[in-house]
Homo-oligomer: A and B are copies of this chain.
Amino acid sequence: MGLIVQKFGGTSVANAERLRNVARIIADTYRKGNRVVAVLSAQGDTTDELIEKAKEINPNASKREMDMLLSTGEQISCSLCAMAIETMGLPVVSLTGWQAGVQTNSSYSSARIKKIQVERIQSELDRSNSIVIVTGFQGINKFGDITTLGRGGSDTSAVALAAALKADLCQIYTDVEGIYTADPRHVKGAKKLDEITFDEMLELASLGAQVLHNRSVEMAKKYRVNLEVLSSFANKPGTKVKEVAKQMEKTQISGVAKDKNVARLALVGVEDRPGIAYKVFSLLGQNDINVDIILQSIGRNDTQDISFTVKRSDVDKAKEILEGHKSSLRFEHIDVNKNMVKVSIVGAGMLDNAGVAATMFGALYDADINIHMISTSEIKISVLLDEADTDSAVQAIHDRFFGE
């Protein structure tokens, strides 16, 4: 008995049959005595079709008009879902982003939510006892124009609404059954987690396990919104995302993740004098290139090597920028390797247990896999490997921590 915000993604509402399924999930939750606010994405390919239509007219359309166009997608799925709930004889109303009071800044196509004026939703919940269906992904700016929230937008809408309405739970329905110890499509023995902490979830998401967008998890953490990730196709509990999760039995880590969007640059033969590393990374930062793992070799013969990883899409630009400053940076040459992968283990209990790193490295050693770079944080250990080793590395690490 409480207020539950439920979010359904594009796959979950792709056609009439699936919309009816979503309507049933919402209706069941309501019939159990809960108040329900459901946040929907656009149906399946609707957004892509609309983008296609726009491109045919104007490949460089303004973001303001793109948002005007794309926001129709959720309006369609929400009104259709409300109609499906009407057939069950339950009170329901669909609301657009502006009707739901979702106020954003004016960054069209990637707007941030500033505030949610919940009066309209609250009145529908309280006075009419209605189920409220809200368009995800969109809001309104101070000019009265429609904005969209960009990637992960509907998850963010749901969490923001849950926070603003002080909901008891925010359920993110998706096409997987929860958060797994590794990608179940590629790793044998991958297990669904019952619980995970916000921080672990954030690390997993940033490491390429894209079930929830980081933006929504960060917001959930900030406003202490209880999240649950579960499948709209299976009637089962999913994974709860909380501030503090119960410690998993016998394991210190909650998952293994991989990220192939990574490339390594190495400045070879850099003159060993102060300030070079600072100069390299501030140059890249000025050009909006994020650096992830950094390895500075110990100097010998008055030169050293500086290696670091960037996103694959940034690597050519990074190389060009550094080549352009070769005379002031004074290095011999730049070595680039695009065929790398970052494999990481994540776990809130890791900090207290030095054995975790040893276990991970041992698993890789036994599998004959070479480690190029290592990076650690409070709840994460990442290693940079050859891309060809990805699957065997993830499986080996997963077997060592989660195997029988």
Residues of A within 8 A of B (CB): 16, 19-20, 50, 53-54, 56-58, 60-62, 64-66, 68-69, 71-72, 75-76, 78-80, 82-84, 86-87, 93-94, 96, 98-99, 120, 144-146
- Give the Cβ gap from A65 to chain B, nearest Cβ, in Å: 5
SS class, residues of chain A in contact with chain B = helix
Task: Out of B54, B68, B80, name the residue touching A57 (CB < 8 Å).
Answer: B80
A75/B76 contact (C-beta < 8 A), A20-B57, A65-B82, A83-B54 known: no
Q: Which of A50, A71, A79 has the most CB of B within 10 A?
A: A79
Task: Out of B56, B66, B86, name the residue touching A62 (CB < 8 Å).
Answer: B86
- Give the Cβ gap from A64 to chain B, nearest Cβ, in Å: 7
CB-defined contacts of A98 to chain B, threshold 8 Å: 98
Interface contact B94-A65, CB-CB below 8 Å: yes
CB-defined contacts of A68 to chain B, threshold 8 Å: 75, 78-79, 82, 94, 96
- Give the Cβ gap from A104 to chain B, nearest Cβ, in Å: 15
A75/B78 contact (C-beta < 8 A), A16-B56, A57-B16 known: no
Interface contact B83-A58, CB-CB below 8 Å: yes
CB-defined contacts of A145 to chain B, threshold 8 Å: 99
What are some 7 contacts across the A-B interface (CB < 8 A)? A16-B56, A16-B57, A57-B87, A65-B82, A69-B83, A98-B98, A99-B145
Q: Which of A50, A56, A64, A83 has the most CB of B within 10 A?
A: A83
CB-defined contacts of A80 to chain B, threshold 8 Å: 53-54, 57, 69
Interface contact B99-A83, CB-CB below 8 Å: no
Interface contact A72-B65, CB-CB below 8 Å: no
A57/B75 contact (C-beta < 8 A), A68-B94, A99-B144, A144-B120 known: no
State A53–B75 Cα separation when bound (angstroms). Answer: 13
Task: Out of B69, B87, B94, name the residue touching A79 (CB < 8 Å).
Answer: B69
Among residues of B, the one whose C-beta sits closest to the C-beta of A61 is B83
State A16–B66 Cα separation when bound (angstroms). Answer: 15
State A72–B58 Cα separation when bound (angstroms). Answer: 20
Among residues of B, the one whose C-beta sits closest to the C-beta of A62 is B86
CB-defined contacts of A66 to chain B, threshold 8 Å: 79, 83
